Amino acid sequence: MTESKKFEGKDEFLALARLALSERPQDVQLFLGKVARRYRASEPEVATEIASLLKNSSGRSSALRRETAAPVPVDNDSRLHLIRIESPSRDMAPPVFAPSVSREVEALIQERRQIERLVQVDLEPTRSALFVGPPGVGKTLSARWIASQLNLPLLILDLSAVMSSFLGRTGNNVRAVLDYAKRQSCVLLLDELDAIAKRRDDATEIGELKRLVTVLLQEIDEWPVHGLLLAATNHSELLDPAVWRRFDSVINFPPPEKIEVERAIVEFLGDDRDLGEEWIEILSILFRGANFSDIRKRITALRRAATMNERNVAIEIEDYIGRITRSMPHSEVLALARKLYGIHRISQRRVAVLTGVSRDTLRRTEDKGSKASRRGRGG
C-alpha cells in the first residue's frame, strides 16, 4: 500500500473524531451528510451506507442531544444558577419590529427550519448573530421569538451580572455556561456583551479579561450548528473590533418610527385596542421617541388604572395628558396642543380640555402658522 493510499480520508476522519469527542451529534450528522455526497461518485456503496445510517438515526436525534443530562451550571460561591432558562412558547404573539429587523429575524428562523436544504449544497445555517441597539427596542424579545418559533429553550446569560472582582471566577462561570449550552439544542443569548467583550487595547482592562475575550471569540468561531448563539449590546462602541468579524450576522435594532409606535400601541392595548383611531393617534404623539419597552409599560399602567377605577381607558389617557402637561414647560405644552389639534378628529375645544391651552391661544398660533406658511410661499 502506497503512502498516499494509507492516509486517504485522513482529514475527514480527524474532523469526524473532533466532532464526536466534543459531543456534538447533530454536527456529526451534518458532516457525514457532506461526506456521503462527496463520495457518491467514487465510493457509491459507502455513500449509500452512510445515508442509510443517517436516515435510521434521525428518529433518535433528540435522545442523542441529551438536553436534560447535564446539570444547569451554578456559581461555585453563591450556588445560584448562572443562566435563566425559558421554555419555548408556541402561542407567543409576533413582536413589533422595524421592517429591516423583521426580515433578518425571519431569515434566521427559516435557515434553522431548513438546515437539510442548506446542507444539500454544502452550506450551514447562521450559527451566531449580534443584536445591536439602544435599550428597549426588542433585542431580548427577538431572541425569545426566535426560540419560540424553533421550539427550542432560550438560555439567557446576563454577562454584567456574572462579572466579578475576581476575574478568574468570571472566566470559569462564562466557560461553564458556554460548555453547557454547546451540549444542548438551544438558543443562547449573551446579554450585555459589552460587559465582557471590550476592546483589548483598552489600557484600563487587565490581562485576565483580555484572555477571556480571546476565549469568547474562539467559542463564537466554533459554535456548533445544532445551536444558535445570540449576543446583545446597548454599547456597540465598547466592543472589541474582532467581535464584529466573528458573528455570522449583525442585526441593528433602530428606535421605533411612527408607524411602529402605532402598531405597538395597538398590540399592547390588547382587549382595549378598539379604543378608536383618535386615541391611537394621540398615544402615538405622546409616545413619540419612546422605545417599545417604555410604551408597553405606560400602556399597561393605563389599562391597569382603568380596571382598578372601573372606567374607560380613554378617561385614563385624558388624566395622563393632564398630569404630564402640568410638569412640562409651556412651550412644550403648546407644541403638544398644536400636534393634537393637527389630528382632524379633534376640535380646538377638545384640545383645550386635554392640555389646558385656551382656544384663543390655539387660534393665534394657527394664524401665525398660516401667515408664516404664506410668506414661505412668497404670498
- The pLDDT score that the predictor gives to residue 125 is 92
- Calpha distance 105→254 (Å, rounded): 14
Task: Give the residues across from 229 on adjacent strands.
Answer: 128, 188
- The pLDDT score that the predictor gives to residue 215 is 82
Q: How many helices (H) and strands (E) does the chain have?
A: 19, 6
pLDDT band, residue 190 (cuts 50/70/90): very high
- The pLDDT score that the predictor gives to residue 153 is 95
Q: What is the pLDDT of residues 322-334, one digit of tens each?
A: 888 888 888 888 8
Is 373's pLDDT higher than 70? no
Q: Which residue has the cell 421617541?
A: 289
For the segment 297-314, the average pLDDT, to the nearest whole number, is: 93
DSSP state of 80: -
- The pLDDT score that the predictor gives to residue 63 is 33
Q: Angle 330-341/359-376 helices, nearest 10 degrees? A: 80
Is 60's pLDDT higher than 50? no
Instruction: Identify the residue with better confidence: 40 or 312.
Output: 312
- The pLDDT score that the predictor gives to residue 353 is 83
Q: In a 3-state reduction of DSSP, which class is residue 159?
A: helix
The CA angle 39-42-46, to the nearest 5 degrees, is: 55
Is 123's pLDDT higher than 90? no
Taking alpha carbons only, the member of 331, 154, 308 closest to residue 230 is 154
Q: What structural domains and CATH numbers belong to the chain?
A: 9-64 (no CATH), 84-252 (3.40.50.300), 258-376 (no CATH)
User: For residue 59, how many other CB atoms are within 10 A of its CB?
Assistant: 8
Instruction: Identify the residue with better confidence: 306 or 353.
Output: 306
- The pLDDT score that the predictor gives to residue 24 is 56
pLDDT band, residue 346 (cuts 50/70/90): confident
CA-atom Rg of the chain in angstroms: 28
Q: Are 229 and 179 in contact (CB under 8 A)?
A: no
Measure CA of the first residue to CA of the last residue in the chain; give whole Å: 97
Specify burial of residue 40 (Cβ count, 10 A radius: 0-12, 13-18, 19+). Answer: middle
pTM: 0.73
